[in-house]
Amino acid sequence: MCGFCGFPSAPGHWTEAGSSATAHDRLRARYRRADLLKSILPAQGLTAHDDMQTPGICVGTFSGNQVIAANLAEVWEAAERLSGRVFDPLDPAFLDGGTQDGGER
């Protein structure tokens, strides 16, 4: 149970597959995932924060709206809900920090 938010411990998710069985490797993968999100989302008007204490990733807007996403799949749902746009995390334009063609809702 998280002492900050009261969430129960997060079970593993398929997006975390491939992480080694050691706690150190899982934590390193989590830091890497957070760094990638921090580099991708600002171009879309969003922020990502993982303090490594809360079981989840905080996705927010520059105006202060925030949602805690329990896993990577929920990050994209939160990004769409907060921005009002459709995201395809595999689109090269999105990964390069550009906007998607036809991504408006």
Q: How much of the chain exceeds pLDDT 70, in percent?
A: 70
Residue 4's pLDDT is what? 57
CA gap 26, 22 in Å, rounded? 6
Q: Is residue 62 part of a domain?
A: yes
Residue 71's pLDDT is what? 86
Q: Residue written as tokens 């334009």?
A: 93
Q: Is residue 7 part of a domain?
A: no
Residues 6 or more apart whose Cβ sits within 8 Å of residue 58 = 47, 48, 49, 50, 51, 66, 67, 68, 69
Tokens of 56: 């989840």
Q: Is residue 70 part of a domain?
A: yes
pLDDT in tens, 34-83: 998 998 899 889 999 988 887 789 999 999 999 999 888 899 999 999 99
Tokens of 25: 């490797």
Count of C-beta atoms within a 10 Å radius of residue 102: 7
- In the chain, how many domains are there? 1
Count of C-beta atoms within a 10 Å radius of residue 103: 17
Q: Is residue 45 part of a domain?
A: yes
Q: Is residue 60 part of a domain?
A: yes
CA gap 27, 85 in Å, rounded? 31
Tokens of 97: 């920090």
